[in-house]
């Protein structure tokens, strides 16, 4: 057989094979497209399920906030749940997604809100197999945490806080207190205790001043020369005085009395310069179990490793920390420095915050109409996370910041 003949035979075979493959590919094309399309629809379904979960979580938390914090009626809770859920779904931008059904269950006895919901998602490629849409179902349950809470509330009452600013601060602080220590009792109410530390050039600790300063002061207390950035008890490292310009209102150790806390806030008055790191230190002392022997019954902090309690500090300022104190061994007194002590005060504040966080204390920080970039950076560094730092430009923003902190501290958590 000639070479030409062989080429002709193989050429014909090749042509026949191409045709067969073309027919085979045509038969396989539809299932291949269906598989690819199904994968695309499945991916969309996963995104829709995530959207549903996020919407349910947001709605459940909003429901708990209305039920627990505001004492809302069943209809009010249902309304806020529905509105929050629908808004979250609409913001997700899912084309054609619709709410097929939702069930809301409230439990006022435990402070829980449970939501079941189903979304209907139109398919794109699965329609070829007769599935025009798919149902996606999920559930979320939010409830109040059963953990006890200890909060140190450090408030700037320096001279720059006078006028409308102190009025805004009082309003914000009282709203926070009303959320955390409600006047109405509920079966699900956990124990929340709050201390209040007004500060300016120091802290007014009149009831304890002589004791903690070894008789040097009967009102103001500032910082100390040894163990400066720890919560060591005053017997290990006495506190210095250094200033007579501390607030006129004495600080308040931990209490669960809404009336006592509110009275203290109402009595705040402004004066003096800003030794913010002393306010941080005294906030720590009110939360430290090492200081328990000094405080009155009911104000003693629990141990750091108590799994049933959360310790929190809220640090607030409207200005740069610009005042610090240094011990003069020659005369045994503390010297006050202002203005040029800004860097010193900020650095000491950072060290205190870092060591507080090492003990498991969660820190929120709030700046109010503060224009110093270094002071803002210092306060943000003090916060446990960037989300726990709030920069308020006006009174409304300050109140919103305190509301957000109160909601977060309330430990409204998702349990399912």
Note the pLDDT tens digit of each residue in 86-101.
888 777 666 677 888 8
- Both 46 and 162 in one domain: the answer is no
- Both 105 and 9 in one domain: the answer is yes
Lowest-pLDDT range of 27-36, 111-120, 334-343: 27-36
Which residue range(s) make up the domain with 246?
148-414
The whole-number pLDDT of residue 132 equals 66
* Last residue of one domain, picked from the residues 111, 143, 175: 143
- Both 120 and 154 in one domain: the answer is no
- Both 115 and 73 in one domain: the answer is yes
For the beta sheet containing 98-107, the strands, ordered from the edge strand earlier in sequence to the opposite edge, are 98-107, 112-122, 133-144, 412-414
- Both 274 and 226 in one domain: the answer is yes
- Both 164 and 79 in one domain: the answer is no
- Both 248 and 392 in one domain: the answer is yes
CATH of the domain at 185: 3.40.50.410
| Residue 54 structure tokens | 């996020």
* Higher local confidence (pLDDT), 413 or 80: 80
Q: What is the count of structural domains for the chain?
A: 2
- Both 134 and 219 in one domain: the answer is no
In 3D space, the residue among 339, 347, 334, 382 whose CA is nearest the CA of residue 221 turns out to be: 334
- Both 252 and 346 in one domain: the answer is yes
For the question of whether the overall pTM of this predicted structure is more than 0.75, the answer is no
* Last residue of one domain, picked from the residues 79, 112, 143: 143
Q: CA-to-CA distance for 200 and 206, rounded, in angstroms?
A: 15
| Residue 154 structure tokens | 């450090």
Residue where the block lists tokens 């109410």: 189
| Residue 187 structure tokens | 């079966």
* Last residue of one domain, picked from the residues 110, 143, 176: 143
Note the pLDDT tens digit of each residue in 319-353.
999 999 998 888 878 888 887 788 899 999 999 99
- Both 237 and 181 in one domain: the answer is yes
Asked whether the predicted pLDDT for residue 50 surpasses 90, the reply is: no
- Both 137 and 155 in one domain: the answer is no
């Amino acid at each position: 057989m000639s070479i030409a003949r062989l080429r002709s035979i193989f050429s014909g075979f090749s042509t026949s094979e191409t045709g067969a493959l073309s027919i085979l590919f045509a038969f396989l094309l539809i299932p291949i497209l269906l598989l690819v399309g199904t994968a695309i629809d499945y991916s969309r379904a996963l995104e829709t399920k995530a959207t549903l979960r996020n919407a349910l979580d947001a709605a459940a938390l909003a429901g708990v906030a209305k039920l627990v914090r505001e004492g809302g009626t069943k209809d009010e809770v249902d309304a806020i749940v529905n509105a929050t859920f629908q808004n979250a779904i609409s913001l997700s931008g899912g084309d054609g997604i619709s709410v097929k059904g939702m069930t809301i269950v409230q439990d006022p006895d435990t402070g829980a809100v449970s939501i079941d919901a189903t979304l209907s998602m139109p398919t794109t490629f699965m329609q070829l197999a007769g599935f025009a849409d798919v149902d996606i179902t999920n559930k979320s349950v939010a409830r109040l945490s059963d953990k006890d809470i200890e909060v140190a509330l450090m408030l700037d009452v320096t001279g720059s806080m006078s006028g409308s600013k102190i009025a805004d601060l009082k309003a914000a602080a009282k709203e926070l207190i009303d959320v955390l220590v409600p006047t109405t009792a509920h079966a699900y109410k956990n124990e929340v205790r709050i201390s209040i530390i007004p500060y300016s050039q120091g802290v007014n600790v009149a009831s304890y001043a002589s004791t903690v300063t070894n008789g040097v002061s009967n009102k103001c207390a500032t910082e100390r020369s040894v163990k400066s950035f720890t919560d060591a008890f005053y017997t290990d490292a006495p506190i210095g005085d250094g200033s007579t310009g501390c607030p006129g209102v004495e600080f308040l150790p931990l209490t669960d009395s809404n009336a006592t806390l509110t009275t203290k806030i109402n009595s705040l008055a402004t004066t003096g310069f800003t030794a913010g790191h002393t306010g941080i230190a005294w906030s720590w002392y009110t939360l430290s179990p090492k200081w328990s022997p000094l405080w009155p019954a009911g104000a003693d902090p629990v141990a750091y490793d108590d799994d049933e309690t959360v310790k929190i500090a809220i640090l607030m300022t409207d200005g740069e920390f610009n005042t610090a104190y240094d011990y003069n061994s020659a005369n045994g007194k503390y010297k006050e420095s202002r203005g040029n002590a800004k860097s010193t005060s900020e650095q000491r504040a950072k060290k205190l915050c870092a060591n507080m966080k090492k003990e498991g204390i969660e820190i929120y920080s709030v700046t109010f109409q503060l224009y110093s970039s270094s002071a803002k950076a210092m306060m943000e560094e003090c916060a446990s996370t960037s989300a726990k730092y709030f920069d308020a430009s006006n009174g409304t923003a300050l109140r919103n910041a305190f509301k957000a902190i109160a909601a977060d501290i309330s430990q409204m958590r998702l349990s399912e």
